[in-house]
Amino acid sequence: MTTVIMRTTARAIVPIILVVSISLYFEGHNLPGGGFIGGVLTVTAFAIIYMAFGLDFLERGVLGRDVDPGKEHSRDRVVVAYRRLFAYGFAIAVASGLGPLLFGEPFLTQAFVMLEGVPVYDHLEVASALAFDFGVYCVVVGGLLTILSVVGAE
Amino acid sequence: MSPDLAIVVAAVALPFIAAALTPLFFRVLGEGTGFAGSLVALSSFGLLASQYGDEGTVALEWIPSLDIALRFHVDGWALLFALLACGIGTLIFTYSPAYMHGESGLVRFYAALLAFMGSIVGVALAADLIAIFLFWELTSLCSFVLIGHYTADDSSQYAARMAMLITVGGGLFLLVGLLLLSIVAGDVVGPASAFDLAAMLEQPDAMAAALRDRGLFLPVLGLLAIGAGTKSAQVPLHFWLPNAMAAPTPVSAFLHSATMVKVGVYFIGRIRPMLVGPEWLFLFATLGLTTMTVCAIMAVASTDIKELLAYSTASHLGLMVAGFGFTSVYGAETGVFHLLNHALFKAALFLVAGIVAHEAGTREIDKLGGLRRDLPVTAAITAVVALSMAGIPPFNGFYSKELLFEAAVEASHHHDIGLLGWLYPAVAVFGSIFTVLYSLKFLSLFFGDRPDDLGHVHRPPVTLLIPPAVLALLAAVVSVDPELAVDAIVQSGLEATAVDPHEMHVDIPTSYSPAVGMSAVTIGVGILAFPAYGRLHDGIRAIPRAVPPIGANWWYDTIVDGLSDEGRAFAEYVHNGLLRTYATWTLAATCTLALAGFVAAGAIAPTEFGLEVTLAIGLVLLVAVIGGLAVVVSESHIAGVLTLSILGFMVAIFYILASAPDLALTQLVVETLVLVIFLLVIEEIPESYEVEVGRSVRDAVLSVAVGATAFVTVLVTTSARPDGPTDIARYYAEQAVPEGGGTNIVNVTLVDFRGFDTLGELAVVALASISILTLIVMRGRGDGYETDARGDDATPGEESPADDSRSDEPTGTRSDSPASGGGDE
């Protein structure tokens, strides 16, 4: 699949997909979207990179690291980073749920504030659910990419 | 005066807390941990003793939404049992360090023993049906650990498994009985106290009447009897108890004398006022007397001192059950008083057996004798408690057995039971004769000649002697002045278990009565038959050898072995390591069960098909169907994957048309990802498969079944749905903006209202990643390690495992449906 057409297309569409996925995550609270969908879309972008450039591309081409060909793929630093990502994501989700306990509210209670007079936006809504959703996003991206890269290496 | 909640809860919780802290104790005290246990048991004893004379219920909130509470009821009967457990527990903990000296696994031993004691105290005090069941099963679990203490010993493991299987199995019957009881109780004492046993026992007659009205009296009685009978080793499920002697002796002493095996008897006494009646008499008197006689005969056939005591325990449990079975007040007196007496003499006897085994090095009856010269104090202790077990006047066992005889004689006065009115006293006497026989046999270990091959017998350490001596002393006190025990605790225990309690009196009889005559016959025949003990012993032993199916143990082995074999054969068939087999069985079973459920519930009714589909939706679905057909007929994998995507995208468009944009977005994104992943792996998949005709027919049938089930399920569930949005849906729609601050209801529901569910799903995704990672990494390692074992097809040498699997032929990609990959995340 590493054809020229594929690579050229990937160069164009991957940034677009990533931007869309991030915007999906941010506007999820008010429009269709959210952490899960944003996460899956991000994974799609990475899958296209894998497809167009091969599994070692991220490690060698983007991060400029040497890849030891004899090493198990699951030990690659990128894969380790994915694993960390979903672990941290889970921790963020749990921690965002523990926060309300400090205020005497039940586990996972969410709240939101409206900020008025913010430059550019004028008024901005900040929901605590965004932190939880960020956890969801991280778990989905980290988890699926771990699976994808490890299974893809087989 | 009503009891103090804090004290009662502390008494129950203390042993559990101590059990959790046992590793800490052990680090500080080493083998002296047992003494810390004594202190804990003594503290619980003290706490409970401070509630002496109180009566009432205290409750700790537990699951308020279901009206379930940790409810404790304190009265004479509960205190009697709980105090026995703590008191004998104290002695057992004192005895253990010397007995278990130098053994391994002591932390587990003491922790389990403490938790065991706590569970028993919990059962004794609990007045909530769920709490009773919880503590009840906890005793089974703890006893499993204790009986199986010698983990390397097969017989110990066998006994532990057997005890677990029987008592936990019985516990399940109990659970059903308790639930039925709570259903009826909801009507009588109010739904708020449907699980409150104490409230039910305040209106025993109303409860009994309500049970009879509903036709649940016999089922409840039967289920509770099975639960109690298995726990208290009643025939024919008595055989786990003699096997449980594989446990260390302190455990046997505790388990067999004061605690777990008596839980059933205790429970029978507890519910007695509510369920007593003709059926009760017939069930429990028959069960108890049969157990008493059968197990007494088996005890005579025993060759091991602990086996003898174990069978005798079962026999005495039968006596107590029979006592409670008799509906007259004598029956309750028998049960309560014998529970106390038996605990005193049987715990002491087990501890004596432990001393004998420990110091003489054998438990074989034939190899022991004349021990009084080596163990004089032990001999004195044994004399008191063995004669008490035999029921020889004036020892304490005599009084309670006398009460049994009276109750048996009285039985025919209260209910018209025909021939049984004669049979019950006769069987009671017959069983008691064997009791006298084996008690004398146990005593004779200390008298007569010393066998030549019995080696040097050591003097036991003081901590081994004190506990049985204390028990023997108590037994002696009760023997000399039984009224003391009656005033102290038995009378108040009687009031909780008898329907018409009156002032209880026990004394040495001075004039003739039928019971006195029966006692005289029992003791006389027992002593006269003792010289023929050897012949009786051999005769009884010959029977099960000649006819194995007469032994309950034989049935257990046959059934359990048969089930294990069948299970193994079945597992090989269903569980053969091929993914498609698992999928076939799982899907087929799910479809069958779901469809059978619909049929049984009468849910599949002729439904009118209203065509409420717009043209657009119709077209989209048509394209989807064509896409589905195209998947099946496509020649290459690429075409198949692409056409499958058509199906997926059409479903997404359907969601958009049905105004579910969030769902549609998810479907689109996931569909895209699946498509990309397919394209990533498609090069690795073989061009085509050879599929047998039979297999494709099977797959076709299965697919149709799954499709039909899904179709029917959707049809049934949507037809049952109310018109318009439900209350829940409306609530979410209305509250999304004010409560969650988001206009996307789906997302607000996911993160604000049902955040905990989402967290659970996150855990699923994380777990899936970890398990896939583990599977693949471990598979690589497995290849590396198995190189030597397999030899032929693996690449030899020190090559890295990952390389190995990469260069190999892709054997792992042989599965015939790679479709379900990432799509369901």
- Express each pLDDT in A107-140 by its tens digit: 877 777 777 777 776 777 777 888 888 999 999 9
Chain B CB contacts of A33 under 8 Å are 662, 665, 744, 747
Residues of B in contact with A35 (CB under 8 A): 751
| Residues of chain B with C-beta less than 8 angstroms from the C-beta of A97 | 755-756, 759
Q: Classify the complex by whether its ipTM is higher than 0.90, answering yes or no.
A: no
> What pLDDT is attached to residue B721?
64
Q: Among B473, B499, B530, which residue terminates a domain?
A: B530
* Residue B304, beta-bridge partner list: B364
Based on the fold, state whether residues B467 and B566 are members of the same structural domain.
no
Q: Which of B750, B763, B801 sits opposite A34 (nearest CB)?
A: B750
Residues B544 and B469 in one domain: no
Q: Are A44 and A17 in contact (CB under 8 A)?
A: yes
In terms of phi and psi (left: phi > 0; alpha: psi -120 to 50; beta: otherwise), the region of B791 is left
Distance from the Cα of B647 to chain A's closest Cα (Å) equals 19
**Do A40 and B780 count as a contact with CB atoms less than 8 A apart?**
no
Residue A154 to residue B776, Cβ atoms within 8 A = yes
| Helices and strands (DSSP H and E) totals, chain A | 5, 2
Domain contains B476: yes
Q: Cis omega before residue B394 (within 30°)?
A: yes
A52 in reach of chain B (CB within 8 A): no
Does the CA dihedral A26-A27-A28-A29 come out positive or negative? positive
Q: Is the pLDDT of residue A153 over 80?
A: no
Same domain, B503 and B553: no
- Let me know whether B400 and B512 are in one domain: yes
The reply to whether A28 touches chain B by the CB within 8 Å rule is yes
**Are B305 and B384 in a shared domain?**
yes
- Residue B314 domain-assigned (yes or no): yes
Residues B461 and B565 in one domain: no
Chain A residue numbers touching B772 (CB-CB < 8 A): 146-147, 150-151
Residue of B nearest to A154 (CA): B806
- Taking the CA of residue B225 and the nearest CA in chain A, the distance in Å comes to 44
DSSP result, B592-605: HHHHHHHHHTT---
B665 touches A at CB < 8 Å: yes
Q: Please judge whether A33 and B665 are an interchain contact, meaning their C-beta atoms are less than 8 angstroms apart.
A: yes
CB B60 within 8 A of CB B9: yes
B500 shares a domain with B549: no
Round to whole Å and give the CA distance between B116 and B121.
9
Q: Of A40, A94, A127, which has the smallest distance from its Cβ to B742's Cβ?
A: A127
- B773 lies within 8 A of chain A by CB: yes
- Asked if the Cβ–Cβ distance from A107 to B756 is below 8 Å, we say yes
- Is the domain of B488 the same as that of B506? yes
Confidence at residue B160, expressed as pLDDT on a 0 to 100 scale: 92
Which residues, 6 or more positions from B468, have their beta carbon under 8 angstroms from its beta carbon? B91, B95, B347, B348, B351, B352, B355, B378, B381, B385
Contact B428, B55 (CB under 8 A): no
Q: Is A17 on the interface with B (CB under 8 A)?
A: no
Contact B740 A110 (CB under 8 A): yes
Separation in Å, CA of B747 to nearest CA in chain A: 6
| Residue A121 at interface with chain B, using a CB cutoff of 8 Å | no
Partner residue opposite A74 with nearest CB, options B664, B681, B776: B776
Between CA B353 and CA B253 the distance in angstroms is: 9
The ranges assigned to domains in chain A are: 4-152
The pLDDT averaged over each successive group of 10 residues in chain B (825 residues) is: 87 93 90 90 93 88 84 92 93 91 88 94 92 93 91 90 92 94 88 87 90 91 93 88 88 86 92 90 92 92 91 93 91 92 92 89 86 88 92 89 90 80 91 93 87 82 91 92 88 87 84 90 92 90 81 86 91 82 90 90 68 83 90 82 88 88 88 83 70 82 91 79 75 80 81 85 88 79 47 41 40 39 37
- Residues with Cβ < 8 Å from B770, sequence gap 6 or more? none
CA distance A31 to chain B (A): 5
pLDDT at position B812, please? 40
Give how many domains chain B has, as a whole number.
Answer: 3
Residue B685 CA to its chain's centroid (Å) = 50
Q: Which of A43, A46, A55, A27 is nearest to A121 (CA)?
A: A27
Residue B493 sits in the same domain as residue B510: yes
Does B346 map to a domain?
A: yes
**A89 vs B: CB within 8 A:** yes
Residue B293 confidence (pLDDT)? 93
Tell me how far CA of residue A129 lies from CA of B753, B756, B766, in angstroms: 10, 12, 20
pLDDT of residue B824: 37
Q: Are residues B310 and B398 in the same domain?
A: yes
Q: Note the pLDDT tens digit of each residue in A65-98.
A: 776 666 666 667 788 888 889 889 999 888 888 8
Q: Confirm if A34 and B747 have CB atoms less than 8 A apart.
A: yes
Provide the residue range defining the domain that includes B761.
726-769
Residues B388, B372: one domain? Answer: yes
Joined together, the tokens standing for residue A7 give 């690579």
Q: Do B751 and A144 touch (CB under 8 A)?
A: no
